[in-house]
Amino acid sequence: MTLLLFLHIAGSLLFLGNIITAAFWKVRADVRGDAAEIHRTVNNVMLADYAFTLPGLLLLIVTGSLMAAKGGYSLAGLNWLTASLILFGITGVLWLAVLIPLQRGMIRLSRQALENGTISAAYKKLSAYWAVFGILATLLPLFILYFMVSKPF
Q: Counting beta carbons within 10 angstroms of the beta carbon of residue 121, is it exposed (0 to 12), middle (13 to 18) or buried (19 or more)? A: exposed
What is the distance between the alpha carbons of residues 108 and 146, in angstroms, rounded to a whole number? 36
Map 45-58 to HEC letters: HHHHHHHHHHHHHH
Confidence band for 10, pLDDT divided at 50, 70 and 90 = very high
pLDDT exceeds 90 at position 19? yes
What is the distance between the alpha carbons of residues 20 and 68, in angstroms, rounded to a whole number? 27
Nearest to 90 by CA among 136, 145, 23: 136
Q: What mean pLDDT, rounded, does the chain reach?
A: 96
If you average pLDDT over residues 36-51, what whole number do you get?
Answer: 97
What is the distance between the alpha carbons of residues 92 and 98, in angstroms, rounded to a whole number? 10
If you average pLDDT over residues 29-49, what whole number do you get?
Answer: 97
Give 70-119 pLDDT, tens digit per residue: 999 988 899 999 999 999 999 999 999 999 999 999 999 999 999 998 99
Structure confidence at residue 1 (pLDDT): 81
